[in-house]
Amino acid sequence: MIRILVLLFCVNALAFELTLIHDVSRTKQTFVTRNGKAEGIFKGKETTFTADNVSIIAKAITVTRDFTQWEIMNDFTDVPFRKGQTVTFYDAKEYLWTLTPEVIKAKYIKSYVFKPKTSVSFSSSIVKGLSESVSGVESTETQRGGLLVEVFFERSLNKTYALALGARYARENINVTNATLTTQRLLGIFEGRYYFGAIEELGGAKFSLAIGLGIGQSVTTTTGSSSSGTAILLPSTKLTLNYPINTNTDFLIESAYESLNINEEFKNQDKQVTNLDNVKFGLGIKRYF
Protein backbone atom coordinates (compact mmCIF):
# COMPACT_ATOMS: atom_id res chain seq x y z
CA MET A 1 0.00 0.00 0.00
CA ILE A 2 2.80 2.39 0.89
CA ARG A 3 4.53 1.68 -2.44
CA ILE A 4 1.34 2.50 -4.32
CA LEU A 5 0.96 5.81 -2.48
CA VAL A 6 4.59 6.73 -3.20
CA LEU A 7 4.12 5.89 -6.87
CA LEU A 8 0.99 8.04 -7.12
CA PHE A 9 2.80 10.87 -5.35
CA CYS A 10 5.69 10.78 -7.84
CA VAL A 11 3.39 10.58 -10.87
CA ASN A 12 1.43 13.58 -9.62
CA ALA A 13 4.64 15.55 -9.14
CA LEU A 14 5.97 14.74 -12.60
CA ALA A 15 2.64 15.50 -14.29
CA PHE A 16 3.20 19.22 -13.87
CA GLU A 17 5.79 20.78 -16.15
CA LEU A 18 7.08 24.31 -16.61
CA THR A 19 7.19 26.14 -19.92
CA LEU A 20 8.01 29.69 -21.00
CA ILE A 21 5.54 31.91 -22.84
CA HIS A 22 7.56 32.97 -25.89
CA ASP A 23 4.94 35.34 -27.33
CA VAL A 24 1.23 36.26 -27.20
CA SER A 25 -0.77 37.29 -30.28
CA ARG A 26 -2.36 40.71 -30.58
CA THR A 27 -5.81 39.09 -30.60
CA LYS A 28 -5.01 37.42 -27.24
CA GLN A 29 -6.38 34.14 -28.62
CA THR A 30 -3.10 32.35 -29.34
CA PHE A 31 0.29 32.12 -27.68
CA VAL A 32 3.62 30.43 -28.32
CA THR A 33 5.60 28.28 -25.85
CA ARG A 34 9.20 27.12 -25.84
CA ASN A 35 8.48 23.41 -26.27
CA GLY A 36 7.57 21.32 -29.28
CA LYS A 37 7.95 17.97 -30.98
CA ALA A 38 11.07 17.25 -28.93
CA GLU A 39 8.84 17.19 -25.83
CA GLY A 40 6.20 14.97 -27.45
CA ILE A 41 3.76 17.72 -28.45
CA PHE A 42 1.79 17.19 -31.67
CA LYS A 43 -0.74 19.21 -33.68
CA GLY A 44 -4.21 18.96 -32.16
CA LYS A 45 -2.99 18.12 -28.67
CA GLU A 46 -5.10 19.72 -25.93
CA THR A 47 -3.40 20.74 -22.69
CA THR A 48 -4.30 22.66 -19.54
CA PHE A 49 -2.14 25.68 -18.71
CA THR A 50 -2.14 27.27 -15.27
CA ALA A 51 -0.67 30.28 -13.51
CA ASP A 52 -1.60 31.94 -10.23
CA ASN A 53 -5.40 31.77 -9.84
CA VAL A 54 -6.09 30.97 -13.50
CA SER A 55 -6.46 27.83 -15.60
CA ILE A 56 -7.17 27.47 -19.35
CA ILE A 57 -7.33 24.72 -21.97
CA ALA A 58 -5.50 25.29 -25.27
CA LYS A 59 -4.98 23.27 -28.46
CA ALA A 60 -1.72 23.02 -30.41
CA ILE A 61 -2.28 24.44 -33.90
CA THR A 62 1.33 24.75 -35.09
CA VAL A 63 4.19 22.60 -33.80
CA THR A 64 7.92 22.74 -34.59
CA ARG A 65 10.79 20.99 -32.89
CA ASP A 66 11.26 23.69 -30.23
CA PHE A 67 8.12 25.86 -30.34
CA THR A 68 4.35 25.38 -30.25
CA GLN A 69 1.55 27.80 -31.09
CA TRP A 70 -1.52 27.22 -28.92
CA GLU A 71 -5.09 28.42 -29.44
CA ILE A 72 -7.26 29.03 -26.38
CA MET A 73 -10.38 26.86 -26.47
CA ASN A 74 -12.76 29.46 -25.04
CA ASP A 75 -13.46 32.23 -27.57
CA PHE A 76 -14.83 34.48 -24.83
CA THR A 77 -11.59 34.47 -22.83
CA ASP A 78 -8.29 36.17 -23.65
CA VAL A 79 -4.94 34.52 -23.02
CA PRO A 80 -4.20 35.41 -19.37
CA PHE A 81 -0.42 35.10 -19.75
CA ARG A 82 2.28 37.58 -20.78
CA LYS A 83 5.43 37.27 -22.85
CA GLY A 84 8.31 35.92 -20.79
CA GLN A 85 6.08 34.41 -18.08
CA THR A 86 6.76 30.90 -16.78
CA VAL A 87 3.58 28.82 -16.52
CA THR A 88 2.64 25.24 -15.68
CA PHE A 89 1.11 22.91 -18.24
CA TYR A 90 -0.64 19.68 -17.38
CA ASP A 91 -1.55 16.92 -19.80
CA ALA A 92 -5.27 16.86 -19.02
CA LYS A 93 -8.38 18.19 -20.79
CA GLU A 94 -9.94 19.66 -17.67
CA TYR A 95 -9.81 22.85 -15.68
CA LEU A 96 -7.81 22.38 -12.51
CA TRP A 97 -9.48 24.79 -10.13
CA THR A 98 -9.95 22.13 -7.46
CA LEU A 99 -6.40 20.83 -7.77
CA THR A 100 -4.77 24.24 -7.04
CA PRO A 101 -1.89 23.46 -9.44
CA GLU A 102 0.19 26.50 -8.46
CA VAL A 103 0.22 25.29 -4.85
CA ILE A 104 1.29 21.85 -6.02
CA LYS A 105 3.93 23.37 -8.29
CA ALA A 106 5.40 25.29 -5.37
CA LYS A 107 5.86 22.00 -3.53
CA TYR A 108 7.55 20.08 -6.31
CA ILE A 109 9.40 22.59 -8.48
CA LYS A 110 12.38 24.28 -6.88
CA SER A 111 12.53 27.00 -9.54
CA TYR A 112 9.14 28.26 -8.40
CA VAL A 113 10.50 29.12 -4.97
CA PHE A 114 11.36 32.80 -4.69
CA LYS A 115 14.98 33.63 -5.40
CA PRO A 116 16.29 37.06 -4.37
CA LYS A 117 17.31 39.19 -7.35
CA THR A 118 20.11 41.73 -7.61
CA SER A 119 19.91 44.58 -10.09
CA VAL A 120 21.72 47.77 -11.04
CA SER A 121 19.92 50.77 -12.50
CA PHE A 122 21.04 54.01 -14.12
CA SER A 123 18.74 57.01 -14.57
CA SER A 124 18.83 60.67 -15.52
CA SER A 125 16.25 63.24 -14.41
CA ILE A 126 15.17 66.84 -14.81
CA VAL A 127 14.84 68.66 -11.47
CA LYS A 128 12.51 71.57 -10.78
CA GLY A 129 12.44 73.57 -7.55
CA LEU A 130 9.00 74.14 -6.04
CA SER A 131 9.79 76.20 -2.97
CA GLU A 132 12.73 77.17 -0.78
CA SER A 133 13.61 79.13 2.33
CA VAL A 134 17.10 80.50 3.04
CA SER A 135 18.25 81.66 6.46
CA GLY A 136 19.35 85.29 6.69
CA VAL A 137 17.85 86.17 3.30
CA GLU A 138 14.58 87.95 2.63
CA SER A 139 12.06 85.93 0.68
CA THR A 140 12.59 86.57 -3.02
CA GLU A 141 11.35 84.96 -6.20
CA THR A 142 13.84 82.41 -7.51
CA GLN A 143 13.92 79.96 -10.38
CA ARG A 144 15.73 76.72 -9.64
CA GLY A 145 16.23 73.75 -11.91
CA GLY A 146 18.81 71.36 -13.30
CA LEU A 147 19.79 67.79 -14.05
CA LEU A 148 20.84 64.79 -11.99
CA VAL A 149 22.09 61.26 -12.61
CA GLU A 150 21.70 58.29 -10.28
CA VAL A 151 22.99 54.74 -10.04
CA PHE A 152 21.37 52.19 -7.69
CA PHE A 153 22.11 48.65 -6.59
CA GLU A 154 18.93 46.81 -5.54
CA ARG A 155 18.38 43.55 -3.64
CA SER A 156 14.89 42.05 -3.47
CA LEU A 157 13.64 40.68 -0.15
CA ASN A 158 10.59 38.97 -1.65
CA LYS A 159 8.22 39.55 -4.57
CA THR A 160 6.97 42.79 -3.02
CA TYR A 161 9.77 44.47 -1.07
CA ALA A 162 13.32 45.46 -1.97
CA LEU A 163 16.19 47.55 -0.59
CA ALA A 164 18.40 49.80 -2.71
CA LEU A 165 21.63 51.71 -2.16
CA GLY A 166 22.78 54.35 -4.62
CA ALA A 167 24.63 57.54 -5.46
CA ARG A 168 23.44 60.77 -7.02
CA TYR A 169 25.18 63.69 -8.72
CA ALA A 170 23.03 66.80 -9.20
CA ARG A 171 23.73 70.17 -10.77
CA GLU A 172 21.23 73.01 -10.40
CA ASN A 173 21.11 76.64 -11.55
CA ILE A 174 19.48 79.21 -9.27
CA ASN A 175 18.34 82.43 -10.90
CA VAL A 176 17.71 85.35 -8.53
CA THR A 177 17.55 89.09 -9.05
CA ASN A 178 20.83 90.27 -10.64
CA ALA A 179 22.63 86.97 -9.97
CA THR A 180 22.92 83.34 -11.01
CA LEU A 181 24.17 80.63 -8.63
CA THR A 182 25.22 77.08 -9.39
CA THR A 183 24.76 74.26 -6.88
CA GLN A 184 26.39 70.83 -7.16
CA ARG A 185 25.51 67.95 -4.84
CA LEU A 186 26.86 64.44 -4.40
CA LEU A 187 24.66 62.21 -2.25
CA GLY A 188 24.56 58.65 -1.01
CA ILE A 189 20.95 57.39 -0.89
CA PHE A 190 19.19 54.47 0.79
CA GLU A 191 15.72 53.42 -0.40
CA GLY A 192 13.03 51.00 0.68
CA ARG A 193 10.90 49.90 -2.28
CA TYR A 194 7.43 48.36 -2.60
CA TYR A 195 6.38 46.69 -5.87
CA PHE A 196 2.75 46.48 -6.91
CA GLY A 197 1.34 43.60 -8.98
CA ALA A 198 2.10 43.24 -12.67
CA ILE A 199 -0.20 45.05 -15.12
CA GLU A 200 -1.00 42.56 -17.88
CA GLU A 201 -2.35 45.31 -20.19
CA LEU A 202 1.13 46.93 -20.08
CA GLY A 203 3.07 43.78 -20.89
CA GLY A 204 3.69 42.86 -17.26
CA ALA A 205 4.93 46.29 -16.19
CA LYS A 206 4.97 47.08 -12.48
CA PHE A 207 4.68 50.27 -10.47
CA SER A 208 6.99 50.66 -7.49
CA LEU A 209 6.86 53.14 -4.62
CA ALA A 210 10.12 54.08 -2.88
CA ILE A 211 10.93 56.09 0.24
CA GLY A 212 14.52 57.32 0.35
CA LEU A 213 16.94 59.04 2.72
CA GLY A 214 20.30 60.49 1.76
CA ILE A 215 23.29 62.50 2.88
CA GLY A 216 26.25 64.07 1.10
CA GLN A 217 28.09 67.21 0.12
CA SER A 218 26.84 70.45 -1.45
CA VAL A 219 28.79 73.28 -3.09
CA THR A 220 27.21 76.56 -4.24
CA THR A 221 29.16 79.07 -6.34
CA THR A 222 28.54 82.50 -7.82
CA THR A 223 30.74 85.30 -9.07
CA GLY A 224 33.34 86.03 -6.39
CA SER A 225 31.77 83.80 -3.72
CA SER A 226 31.29 80.14 -2.82
CA SER A 227 29.95 78.05 0.05
CA SER A 228 30.04 74.36 0.87
CA GLY A 229 28.61 71.99 3.42
CA THR A 230 26.24 69.10 4.05
CA ALA A 231 23.07 68.20 2.16
CA ILE A 232 20.47 65.88 3.69
CA LEU A 233 17.64 64.27 1.73
CA LEU A 234 14.69 63.68 4.07
CA PRO A 235 12.78 62.18 2.53
CA SER A 236 12.31 61.35 -1.15
CA THR A 237 9.05 59.78 -2.33
CA LYS A 238 9.45 58.17 -5.75
CA LEU A 239 6.97 56.46 -8.07
CA THR A 240 8.46 54.34 -10.88
CA LEU A 241 6.98 52.40 -13.77
CA ASN A 242 9.18 49.35 -14.43
CA TYR A 243 8.49 48.23 -18.00
CA PRO A 244 10.13 44.90 -18.99
CA ILE A 245 12.11 45.01 -22.22
CA ASN A 246 13.18 41.39 -21.80
CA THR A 247 13.65 38.95 -18.91
CA ASN A 248 16.80 40.73 -17.69
CA THR A 249 16.13 44.41 -18.46
CA ASP A 250 13.50 46.99 -17.43
CA PHE A 251 12.87 50.45 -18.83
CA LEU A 252 12.18 52.96 -16.04
CA ILE A 253 9.93 56.01 -15.97
CA GLU A 254 10.37 57.89 -12.69
CA SER A 255 8.80 60.80 -10.83
CA ALA A 256 9.60 61.98 -7.32
CA TYR A 257 8.90 64.63 -4.71
CA GLU A 258 11.84 65.49 -2.43
CA SER A 259 12.75 67.67 0.53
CA LEU A 260 16.35 68.70 1.18
CA ASN A 261 18.07 70.45 4.05
CA ILE A 262 21.35 72.14 3.02
CA ASN A 263 23.80 73.58 5.56
CA GLU A 264 26.64 75.53 3.91
CA GLU A 265 29.44 77.74 5.20
CA PHE A 266 31.19 80.60 3.39
CA LYS A 267 34.92 81.29 3.54
CA ASN A 268 34.31 84.04 6.13
CA GLN A 269 32.62 81.33 8.29
CA ASP A 270 29.12 82.74 7.82
CA LYS A 271 26.59 79.91 7.71
CA GLN A 272 23.48 79.52 5.60
CA VAL A 273 20.67 76.97 5.87
CA THR A 274 18.44 76.22 2.89
CA ASN A 275 15.26 74.13 3.01
CA LEU A 276 14.23 73.07 -0.46
CA ASP A 277 11.33 71.16 -2.06
CA ASN A 278 11.94 69.62 -5.49
CA VAL A 279 10.17 67.48 -8.04
CA LYS A 280 11.99 65.37 -10.60
CA PHE A 281 11.06 63.40 -13.72
CA GLY A 282 13.40 60.96 -15.39
CA LEU A 283 14.10 57.88 -17.49
CA GLY A 284 16.37 54.95 -16.78
CA ILE A 285 17.42 51.35 -17.38
CA LYS A 286 17.55 48.51 -14.86
CA ARG A 287 19.55 45.32 -15.42
CA TYR A 288 19.00 42.11 -13.40
CA PHE A 289 21.80 39.68 -12.55
Q: Name the more confident of 242 and 56.
A: 242
Q: Are residues 80 and 200 in the same domain?
A: no
- Which residue, of 54, 79, 112, is where some domain finishes? 112
pLDDT digits (tens, 9 = 90+) for 103-152: 555 554 444 456 788 999 999 999 999 999 988 776 667 889 999 999 99
Rounded Cα distance, 249 and 245, in Å: 6
Q: Are residues 104 and 201 in the same domain?
A: no
Q: Are residues 259 and 282 in the same domain?
A: yes
- Closest to 58 (Cα-Cα) out of 15, 101, 87, 83: 87
Q: Are residues 197 and 274 in the same domain?
A: yes
By residue range, what is the domain housing residue 48?
Answer: 2-112
Answer whether 63's CB lies under 8 Å from 47's CB.
no
Q: Which of 72-86, 220-234, 235-249 has the lowest mean pLDDT?
A: 72-86
- At 155 the pLDDT is 96
Q: Are residues 100 and 151 in the same domain?
A: no
Average pLDDT, the chain: 85
Q: pTM, whole model, 2 decimals? A: 0.65
Q: Are residues 269 and 146 in the same domain?
A: yes
Question: Which residues fall within 8 angstroms of residue 134, CB to CB, at 6 or more apart?
Answer: 272, 273, 274
DSSP assignment of 24-66: E-TTSSEEEES--GGGT--TT-EEEEEETTEEEEEEEEEE-SS
Q: Name the more confident of 24 and 15.
A: 24
Q: Which of 111-125, 193-207, 219-233 has the lowest mean pLDDT?
A: 111-125
Count up the domains in the chain and report the number.
2
- Which residue, of 68, 94, 112, is where some domain finishes? 112
Q: Are residues 106 and 137 in the same domain?
A: no
Q: Name the more confident of 152 and 234.
A: 152
Average pLDDT of the residues in 58-72: 92
Q: Are residues 55 and 138 in the same domain?
A: no
